[in-house]
């Protein structure tokens, strides 16, 4: 028989040209009407969602078996032979669960003949283009106090003159020369009220 309706197909070899570990993200921009939302960029997080023509999550079928969206996202992209996306009437053969469309995934299978081995690898690293100028302990303490005093509802002095002196001579807190990258990353030490 033939399938009547809108069907879009993507070969696995086309998908892996997109460098992404999530096959669902690889479909973005390759299938008309398919929208993919990446909820987190944290490595190992598989919480994306997708829909066909804004109708809700489609039914995912991998090698003839209904699966969850998360199982599709965890599938090794190199194991995918092809993906077919069935829209509207073409998805009707899968029943009510396919009301939002169907994503048919076919994985690679073994074949008779000579064994073939393929390898695909990449190596990447990131380095900052410029390192920020860091504040020393004295500058960081001054910025904490300034930030606190500039609050709309009034503020208080976080570091007193005694604290400044203790930092300077190394009797309390980090020794002189300690670098702080952000004035907001350090917890409050004392809260002596001051009027403005």
10-37 per-position pLDDT tens digit: 898 888 888 778 888 888 888 888 888 8
Angle between helices 161-169 and 137-149 (to 10 degrees): 160
- Give 176's DSSP letter: T
pLDDT for 106-154, tens place per residue?
999 988 899 888 887 777 777 878 888 888 888 888 888 888 888 877 7
Q: List CB contacts of 79: < 8 A, sequence separation 6 or more.
A: 12, 107, 108
Q: For the chain, which residues make up each domain, given as ranges?
A: 7-107, 135-193
Sheet holding 102-107, edge to edge: 7-11, 80-86, 102-107, 59-62, 65-67
Q: Which residues pair with 86 in a beta bridge?
A: 7, 102
7-107 CATH: 2.170.130.10
Residue 10's closest CA among 2, 19, 20, 26? Answer: 26
pLDDT in tens, 74-116: 998 889 999 999 887 778 888 888 888 899 999 999 888 998 8
Compute the Cα dihedral for 88, 93, 98, 101 and give only its sign: negative
């Amino acid at each position: 028989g033939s399938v009547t309706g809108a069907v879009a197909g993507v070969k696995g070899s086309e998908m892996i040209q997109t460098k992404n570990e999530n096959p669902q993200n690889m479909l973005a921009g390759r299938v008309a009407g398919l929208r993919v939302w990446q909820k987190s960029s944290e490595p190992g997080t598989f919480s994306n969602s997708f829909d066909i023509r804004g109708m809700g999550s489609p039914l995912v079928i991998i090698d003839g078996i209904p699966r969850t969206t998360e199982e599709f996202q965890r599938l090794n992209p190199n194991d995918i032979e092809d993906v077919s996306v069935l829209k509207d009437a073409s998805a009707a053969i899968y029943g009510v669960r396919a009301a939002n469309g169907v994503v048919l995934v076919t994985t690679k299978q073994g074949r008779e003949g000579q064994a073939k081995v393929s390898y695909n690898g990449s190596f990447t690293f990131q380095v900052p283009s410029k390192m920020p100028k860091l504040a020393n302990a004295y500058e960081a303490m001054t910025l904490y106090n300034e930030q606190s005093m500039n609050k709309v509802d009034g503020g208080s002095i976080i570091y007193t003159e005694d604290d400044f002196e203790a930092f300077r001579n190394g009797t309390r807190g980090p020794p002189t020369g300690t670098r702080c990258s952000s004035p907001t990353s350090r917890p409050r030490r004392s809260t002596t009220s001051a009027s403005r």
